[in-house]
Amino acid sequence: MIVDDVKKDHNAEQIPDLDFQKLEVVTALGRGAKGVVFLARTANDDGGDGEWLALKVISRDLIERKAKTVNSDADEYRRVCFEREVLRQFRHPLLPRLRGVLDTKKVVGYAIDYCNGRDLNTLRKKQTEKMFSDDVIRFYAAELVMALEYVHSLGIVYRDLKPDNVMVQHNGHIMLVDFDLSTRLSQKSPKSSPLLLPSVEVLTESRSTIKKKSKKRFFHFHRFCNSGVSPEDSDQQTANKQKSRPEGRKSPPDSSESDSSEKSNSFVGTEEYVAPEIVSGKGHDFAVDWWSLGVVLYEMLYGTTPFRGSNRKETFYRILTKTPDLSGEVTPLRDLIRRLLEKDPTRRIELEEIKSHNFFKGTGWDLVLEIPRPPSLPAIATEETDGNNLIDVESFVQDIFCSETEKKNRTNGDEEKGFLPTNYTESDRFHVF
Predicted local distance difference test score (pLDDT) of residue 16: 84
Give CA 263 to chain center in angstroms. Answer: 15
Cα–Cα distance measured from residue 37 to residue 162, given in angstroms and rounded to the nearest whole number: 18
Read off the pLDDT of residues 256-275 as tens digits, 9 standing for 90 and up. 223 333 334 566 678 999 99
Predicted local distance difference test score (pLDDT) of residue 49: 74
Beta strands 98-103; 107-113: pairing state? antiparallel
Give CA 231 to chain center in angstroms. Answer: 20
Read off the pLDDT of residues 280-296 as tens digits, 9 standing for 90 and up. 998 999 999 999 999 99
Q: What average pLDDT does the segment 55-84 reach?
A: 77
Q: Which of 325, 337, 331 is nearest to 300 (CA)?
A: 337
Instruction: Please report the domains of the chain, with CATH numbers, ordered by start residue.
Output: 2-116+381-409 (3.30.200.20), 120-198+260-370 (1.10.510.10), 200-255 (no CATH)
pLDDT at 240 > cutoff 60: no
pLDDT at 426 > cutoff 60: no
Helix (H), strand (E), coil (C) string for the chain: CHHHHHCCCCCCCCCCECCHHHEEEEEEEEECCCEEEEEEEECCCCCCCCCEEEEEEEEHHHHHHHHHHCCCCCHHHHHHHHHHHHHHHCCCCCCCCEEEEEECCCEEEEEEECCCCCEHHHHHHCCCCCCCCHHHHHHHHHHHHHHHHHHHHCCEECCCCCHHHEEECCCCCEEECCCCCCEECCCCCCCCCCCCCCCHHHHCCCHHHHHHHHHHHHHHHHHHHHHCCCHHHHHHHHHHHHHHCCHHHCCCCCCCCCHHHHHCCCCCCCHHHCCHHHHHCCCCCCHHHHHHHHHHHHHHHHCCCCCCCCCHHHHHHHHHHCCCCCCCCCCHHHHHHHHHCCCCCCCCCCHHHHHCCHHHCCCCHHHHHHCCCCCCCCCCCCCCCCCCCCCCHHHHHHHHCCCHHHHHHCCCCCCCCCCCCCCCCCCCCCCCC
Q: What is the pTM of this model?
A: 0.73
Q: With beta carbons less than 8 A apart as the criterion, state whether 144 and 116 touch.
A: no
Predicted local distance difference test score (pLDDT) of residue 422: 36
Cα–Cα distance measured from residue 285 to residue 265, given in angstroms and rounded to the nearest whole number: 9
pLDDT at 303 > cutoff 80: yes
Read off the pLDDT of residues 334-390 as tens digits, 9 standing for 90 and up. 999 999 999 999 999 999 999 999 999 999 999 999 998 899 888 765 555 555 567
Active-site residues, by number, are 160
pLDDT at 98 > cutoff 70: yes
Read off the pLDDT of residues 40-52 as tens digits, 9 standing for 90 and up. 998 776 666 788 9
